[in-house]
Amino acid sequence: MYKVRIGIIGVAGRGTIAEHWHKSKRAVVVAGADVNEAHLAGFKSRIGDHVTTTTDYRELLDRKDIDAIAVLSPDYCHEEQAVASLQAGKHVFCEKPLAITTEGCDNILKAWKSSNRHLMVGFNMRYMNIFRVMKDIADSGAIGTIKAVWVRHFVGYGGDFYYHDWHATRKNTTSLLLQKGSHDIDMIHWITGRYTSRVAAFGGLDFFGGDRANDLTCPDCPDNRTCTEALFGTRTQCAFRQEVDVEDNNVVIMELEGGIKASYLQCHFTPDYHRNYVFIGTEGRMENSEPEGKVWVKTRRVRERPDVWRELADRTYEIKKAVGGHGGADPVICEDFLDMILLGKEPVATPIAGRMSVAAGCAAAESMRNGGIPVDIPPVNV
């Protein structure tokens, strides 16, 4: 059996999903690139001595024994590396967000269109059981035609994940409505089957940021024994340093194609971590609980004829736990990437979907930094 030969750009953090391709019977990981030598050493120990490593990702693009590239580097690197990989004739798996600007996404799409190669976005939530169940329920018509969506994202580890490293500045992320919110915006798009056309948003830096020195780290801070945000791992930059300028509290209202109204709330200093989704249709509503692993469907009485009412029973769906990272999504999304290359199957997470989630997030960031003005989503420019 032919195996897809994969090179990894960014071998730590999200780069650890390379292990799923390493274990697959249809792929082999042959090389990794990272600017951090320690990360490369860890990558080699996990994958095996057969892999070659480099600090220059361009070396992977020149190799004839690499068919596909997985771009798993920090967000601000995605545009450059995805475009270069496609232009080099490689299939590309690009972690979300596709880029940190709408224009950057369109540049990737242009390179994809002219490359005759496959491109896939790392929207692993599309592969999680709980959201696949919700998608199936919506598509079945059980709640009728969706008219409203409410999403609350409690980011209980917001400081740990985003405010102690590069994520905390606009120059690297634009907004956490991309890095974190692109998942949720994409779920709204995917489950409704509609893209956002217009947004308005409000947000602020209500907890993190401050007057601490930009070079201050938790181990060196005199307050590390009392600070609730002190960390001693790999993310140790002070979460209250001066350069932090990415909002930690966001409220977005959205109008989707077809007139669907949606709201998205994201907060990074809550004590708990979960996502709560509500979809309301003409015949009922659907809601999830991530902590409980449940989806509920409640329905309205429907009058089919003057003398006939259809009573729809409420239902509770128990979601089976899956093995693997991100609720079992990581091994599935890695196999979907191989299906795309080997079988020509369109991936569940498409390039256009990746672009549209970023476009909505960028428009929301523009709105909230300009007094909450409504901002239209620009059409795809390829």
The model's pLDDT over 160-213, given as tens digits with 9 standing for 90+, comes to 999 999 999 999 999 999 999 999 999 999 999 999 999 999 999 999 999 999
Arithmetic mean of pLDDT over the chain: 95
Average pLDDT over residues 315-332: 89
What is the signed CA dihedral for 354, 360, 362, 366, rounded to 10 degrees? 180
Kindly state whether residues 323 and 336 are assigned to the same domain: no
Kindly state whether residues 71 and 156 are assigned to the same domain: no
Kindly state whether residues 238 and 158 are assigned to the same domain: yes
Report residue 312's pLDDT band, with 50, 70 and 90 as the boundaries: low
Q: Which class for 239: exposed (0-12), middle (13-18), buried (19 or more C-beta within 10 A)?
A: buried
Kindly state whether residues 183 and 105 are assigned to the same domain: no
Strand partners, 204: 249
Question: What tokens does 206 get?
Answer: 């209500």
The domain tally of the chain equals 2
Nearest partner of 358 among 131, 162, 109, judged by Cα: 109
137-141, 203-207, 220-224, 231-235: least confident range? 231-235
Average pLDDT over residues 219-246: 95
68-77, 126-135, 233-242, 310-319: least confident range? 310-319
Domain of 342?
4-123+329-347
Asked if pLDDT for residue 309 goes beyond 70, the answer is no
Report which residue type is found at 77: C
**pLDDT score recorded for residue 256:** 98
Report residue 84's pLDDT band, with 50, 70 and 90 as the boundaries: very high
- Determine, yes or no, domain membership for 180: yes
- What's the pTM value of the predicted model, to 2 decimals? 0.95
Asked if pLDDT for residue 306 goes beyond 80, the answer is no
Kindly state whether residues 282 and 320 are assigned to the same domain: yes
Kindly state whether residues 85 and 182 are assigned to the same domain: no
- Determine, yes or no, domain membership for 382: no
